[in-house]
Homo-oligomer: A and B are copies of this chain.
Amino acid sequence: MFKMFRYLGEGADIYYKAFPTTWDATSEIGKKRIIKLKETLRKHLPIKEGKALDVGCGTGISTFALEELGFEVIGIDIRKEAIHQAKEIAKERGSKAKFYFMDAKRLEFENESFDLVTLLGSPLPHFSVYDFDEITMEAYRVLKPKGVLVIEYIDTIKGLYSWHRDVFVEGLLISIYKGFNSVEGLEERFFINLNNGTTFSVKFYLWAPWIAEFILRKAGFEVQSHYIREDSFDSGG
């Protein structure tokens, strides 16, 4: 049988590999994202300096943005390959940011050792409520008493109501709604990568402010909500 497209399976790793330029801190898009994120953070961060922990740092886009704003930053990610890349890029950039392969649910840091913890680049769709609950409690533990947790996320439950069934075209990468499971809290999307003739699926956890806020409050945080942008699918380009 002739197969035009090869199905790669599902998962976040395949997803990130399919958008190399978007997530690579050295690409043109990556560089633009650093600049844009710096602007956003400069405007909205309630603190301007100190020790920062960048959770889910990927190849370092958000970590370098924080460093350039004046923070002493550690980036962590559960994807080994991304951490490897981030370290290489840090060398090239002459960055002092530290990068560690680490699970955000089990932070290897002392209590009250950071002024800022960030979850940037909208990682919430990769976390179940159980994951986010553990991550939030760990963030609370490692933050100093006046520390700040900053989360960037997409309101996907609002999305159910609007763009949910839309087809998205990002260059030659096409994403199509496949299914939605409210027992698990998951949306599934099917991706077609016309660049290399592959397809894959990704399951994204659904999130909305009221659920995130509930979990944050349970962990002990006071919640201040900022809704920065409406263009949920902006990839910084």
From A29-37, A106-114, A154-162, give the one contacting chain B: A154-162
A188 and B157 CA atoms in complex are apart in Å by 16
Give chain B nearest CB distance to A201 CB in angstroms: 19
Contact call B185/A211, Cβ cutoff below 8 A: yes
Most chain B Cβ neighbours within 10 Å, of A128, A158, A164: A158
Contact A158 B133 (CB under 8 A): no
Which of A10-18, A73-81, A176-184 makes up part of the contact surface?
Answer: A176-184
Q: Which one of B130, B164, B210, B225 lies within 8 Å of A161 (CB-CB)?
A: B164
How many copies of this chain does one complex carry? 2
Report the interface size for chain A: residues with CB under 8 A from the other chain.
25
A167 contacts which chain B residues (CB < 8 A)?
Answer: none
> Contact between B208 and A185 (Cβ–Cβ < 8 Å)?
yes
Query: Within the complex, what minimum Cβ distance (angstroms) separates A178 from chain B?
Result: 13
CA distance A130 to B182 in the complex (A): 20
Contacts of A211 in B (CB 8 A): 129, 185, 211
Q: How far is the CB of A207 from chain B (nearest CB, A)?
A: 9
A214 interface residue (CB < 8 Å to B): yes
Bound: A180/B128 CA distance, A:
23
Q: Residue-by-residue, is A129-170 near B (CB-CB < 8 Å gives 1, otherwise 0)?
A: 110010000000000000000000001011011001000000
Q: In the A-B complex, list the 8 residue pairs whose CB atoms are closest, starting with the nearest.
A: A185-B210, A182-B208, A158-B182, A129-B214, A183-B209, A160-B160, A160-B161, A157-B182
A-B residue pairs in contact (CB < 8 Å), sample of 20: A129-B210, A129-B211, A129-B214, A130-B214, A133-B214, A155-B182, A157-B157, A157-B182, A157-B206, A158-B180, A158-B182, A183-B208, A183-B209, A183-B225, A184-B210, A185-B208, A185-B210, A206-B210, A211-B211, A218-B218
